[in-house]
């Protein structure tokens, strides 16, 4: 990925939640230097940071957070790569994409990619990412009624990823988003991967040094395994994946015990599939 030197792109125009896009960007950009044993390198993220000319030093103090975010990227990449192995021409929706560079990491030369985020984030992305014929930007809030109308009917294999998004939405907004995504799909297999905190973490973002600095807060968390499908029966749970437990001691022990007690992981990734017998309204109209 080739970028020009910093042109004065401003992060200050973003709200506190939108500014959380800096944290996973920092994790990916620093991974090669700080976590060489993971074998994770994201040159696109490094280039974006260089163009922003943003000081990542404050994030380095929270090494465990950086490790966790790199593991999150590894898990989501693995899930999406598996889908693309079966459906190489699929379309991918990245919701609340921030400054995600997952397209650059997984592009197989055939997929089509749609980044969806707030107008101010989309404006920033346009100054940092070169245009690509198989990638487009959609300026929208996934919490606004009718936002999917911008996408049109989604036909063919579709994968939706919501990375670092749902925990900042209200419960009703999360469940409505799951319904919106089920209804907009018009044939072809569809899968959905998202990361989540448990309900005990709602209101506890201050425990994370970087989030406390930005003033962001968690509004939704998973209360039980039954909520993994986000209140939408058309989504079936394929699997859940650990994130922090991948770091080893003490997470592998303590967080596993928490899951036995609470029924859900303190932090994890869910992988859903749209039921094959779903008959969306758009299909009935055809």
pLDDT confidence of residue 193: 98
Residue 190 lies in a domain: yes
Residue 117 lies in a domain: yes
Q: Which residues, at least 6 apart from 278, have a Cβ–Cβ distance to it below 8 Å? A: 182, 185, 234
Provide the token pair at 77. 């990449």
Domain containing 208 equals: 18-285
Residue 88 lies in a domain: yes
Q: Read off φ and ψ for residue 2, nearest 5 degrees.
A: -105, 130
Q: Read off φ and ψ for residue 232, nearest 5 degrees.
A: -120, 105
149, with CB counted inside 10 A (0-12, 13-18, 19+), is exposed
Question: Hey, which residues does 159 pair with through a beta bridge?
Answer: 92, 191
Provide the token pair at 55. 């000081």
User: The domain that contains 193 carries what CATH number?
Assistant: 3.40.50.150
User: What SS3 state is found at 249?
Assistant: coil
Whether omega before 239 lies within 30 degrees of 0, making that bond cis, reads: no
Cβ proximity of 166 and 269 under 8 Å: no
The model carries a pTM of 0.91
Residue 187 lies in a domain: yes
pLDDT along the chain (286 residues), means of 10: 43 76 94 94 95 85 92 98 98 97 98 96 94 96 95 91 96 98 92 96 83 85 96 97 94 90 92 78 44
pLDDT confidence of residue 59: 85
Residue 1 lies in a domain: no
∠ CA 133-134-140, rounded to 5° = 105
The angle, 0 to 180 degrees and rounded to 10, between the axes of the packed helices 43-52 and 22-34 is 120
Question: Which region holds residue 2: left if phi is over 0, alpha if psi is between -120 and 50, else beta?
Answer: beta
Question: How many Å is the maximal CA-CA distance in the chain?
Answer: 55
Residue 232 lies in a domain: yes
Q: Of all residues in the chain, what percent are helix, strand and coil, respectively (each to 5)?
A: 45, 15, 35
Residue (of 94, 266, 272) closest to 196 by Cα position: 266
pLDDT confidence of residue 12: 62
Residue 143 lies in a domain: yes
Query: What's the rounded Cα separation, in Å, for the pair 164 and 80?
Result: 16
Beta strands in 109-234 (DSSP E): 112-117, 135-139, 158-162, 190-197
Alpha carbon of 54 to those of 8, 9, 177: distances in Å?
Answer: 10, 10, 33
User: What SS3 state is found at 41?
Assistant: coil
Host H or E run for residue 184: helix 171-184
Cβ proximity of 141 and 147 under 8 Å: yes
Provide the token pair at 155. 């036909």
Provide the token pair at 179. 């319904």
Residue 9 lies in a domain: no
Question: Hey, which residues does 192 pair with through a beta bridge?
Answer: 160, 272
Query: What's the rounded Cα separation, in Å, for the pair 286 and 282?
Result: 6
pLDDT confidence of residue 11: 73
Count structural domains, the chain. Answer: 1
């Amino acid at each position: 990925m080739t970028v020009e030197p910093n042109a004065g792109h401003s992060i200050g125009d973003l709200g506190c939640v939108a500014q959380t896009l800096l944290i996973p960007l920092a994790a990916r950009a620093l991974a090669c230097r700080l976590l060489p044993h993971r074998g994770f390198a994201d040159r696109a993220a490094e280039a974006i940071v260089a163009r922003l000319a943003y000081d990542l030093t404050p994030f380095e103090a929270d090494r465990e957070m950086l490790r966790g975010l790199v593991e999150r990227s590894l898990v989501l990449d693995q899930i999406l790569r598996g889908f693309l192995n079966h459906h190489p021409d699929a379309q991918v929706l990245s919701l609340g994409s921030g400054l995600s560079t997952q397209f650059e990491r997984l592009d197989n030369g055939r997929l089509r990619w749609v980044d969806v985020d707030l107008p101010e984030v989309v404006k920033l992305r346009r100054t940092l990412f070169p245009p690509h014929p198989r990638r487009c930007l959609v300026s929208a809030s996934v919490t606004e009624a009718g936002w999917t109308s911008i996408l049109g009917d989604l036909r063919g294999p579709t994968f939706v990823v919501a990375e670092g998004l749902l925990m900042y939405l209200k419960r009703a907004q999360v469940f409505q988003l799951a319904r919106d995504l089920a209804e907009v799909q018009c044939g072809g297999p569809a899968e959905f991967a998202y990361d989540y905190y448990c309900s005990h973490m709602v209101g506890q973002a201050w425990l994370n040094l970087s989030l406390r600095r930005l003033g962001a807060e968690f509004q939704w968390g998973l209360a039980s395994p039954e909520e993994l499908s986000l209140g939408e029966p058309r989504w079936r749970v394929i699997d859940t994946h650990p994130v922090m437990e991948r770091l080893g001691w003490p997470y592998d022990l303590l967080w596993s015990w928490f899951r036995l007690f609470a029924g859900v992981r303190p932090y994890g990734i869910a992988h859903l599939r749209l039921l094959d017998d779903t008959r969306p309204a758009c299909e009935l109209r055809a």
